[in-house]
Amino acid sequence: MSYSHPAVSDTPYALQRYRSARTPAPISSNSVWESLGTHATKGAHATKKTATLPALFISHGAPSFAVEQSATTSALARIGQNLPTPRAIIIMSAHWQSSKLEISSNPAPKTWHDFSGFEPEMYELEYPAPGHTKLAETLAQQLSARGITCSVNPMRVWDHGIWAPLLHLYPEADIPVVQVSLPQHYDSVACYQLGAQLAQLRHERVLIIGSGNITHNLQSLRWQADSIDERAKDFKLWLLQQLKIDIPTALDWQQYPNFRDIHPSDEHLLPLFFALGTGQRVSVVHQSMAHHSLGMDIYRFD
């Protein structure tokens, strides 16, 4: 099936917004590590301080993803084993929407079981990864200096968009995590631009993650079904192709016909564009569908 070329490439204002994401004077975390010393992060001495990490987009699925064993969870485990040990993780989850940009500065966030109706074992799971107050404050200061309205949030806890995938990626929960909120007024371009502001951090051994879902329509779910929603599959294949060849078209994803059949709301897709902003070369780590319509793809951006 072919689709007409969306409006982004032909709209000067939208294209100008896309290009403006490329900004000088990159935000850096170096002052954080210098002030904390060489061995500030567990395992840091085993990895070159200048190692460059990719960014990731992770489809985190239903909360039960935390206890599943599947091709998707195996792919996450392999990533965690094969990447250089991060100094820290910066992650945007679909499950923290806010009125303005916030950055978690809680040094010891609790595990929030932000769901209902699941097996009792789900409510016993804990992911005790520490936060990183100094890194959060440093990022907030630098973003504010660039005219981006933001603040730190010292009370934020880990929602399942954080801990469900990280349980498979880094099960020891020994890497500091800083969560970035998803402002309610942000669109794909704003998320892309925010990612672009943080792109330098990948070269400072900070792992940047967007956690959402490549397709997400809860009304279309069929639990444990082996069938595949062809509409959802077609959408994710189309979007992946745009990510590879035409980023402005990918950013204008709502030009896709009947896009609300795939994403009735946009919060689970927007973290993809946050990861994209940090590195425009996309590669597929994993592709699959679950529960009929839930796309479980994992992408890497370099």
Q: What is the mean pLDDT of residues 60-83?
A: 93
The pLDDT tens digits for 112-152 are: 998 988 888 889 999 999 999 999 999 999 999 999 999 99
Phi, psi of 61 (to 5 degrees): 65, -155
Q: For 25-37+47-295, CATH number?
A: 3.40.830.10
Cα maximum dimension of the chain: 55
Q: State which H helix or E strand residue 212 sits in.
A: strand 206-212
Residue 66, token pair as written in the block = 């935390």
Among 300, 287, 302, CA closest to 237: 287
Instruction: Say which range, 12-16, 146-150, 183-187, 234-238, has the weakest mean pLDDT.
Output: 12-16
CB 272 within 8 Å of CB 94: no
Q: Which residue has the higher pLDDT, 285 or 2?
A: 285
Residue 9 clears pLDDT 50, i.e. is over it: no
Q: According to the model, what pLDDT value does residue 25 have?
A: 67
Residue 97, token pair as written in the block = 């929407």
Which pLDDT band, with edges at 50, 70 and 90, does 17 fall under? Answer: low
Q: Which residue has the higher pLDDT, 5 or 291?
A: 291
Opening angle at CA 189, ends 186 and 192, nearest 5? 95
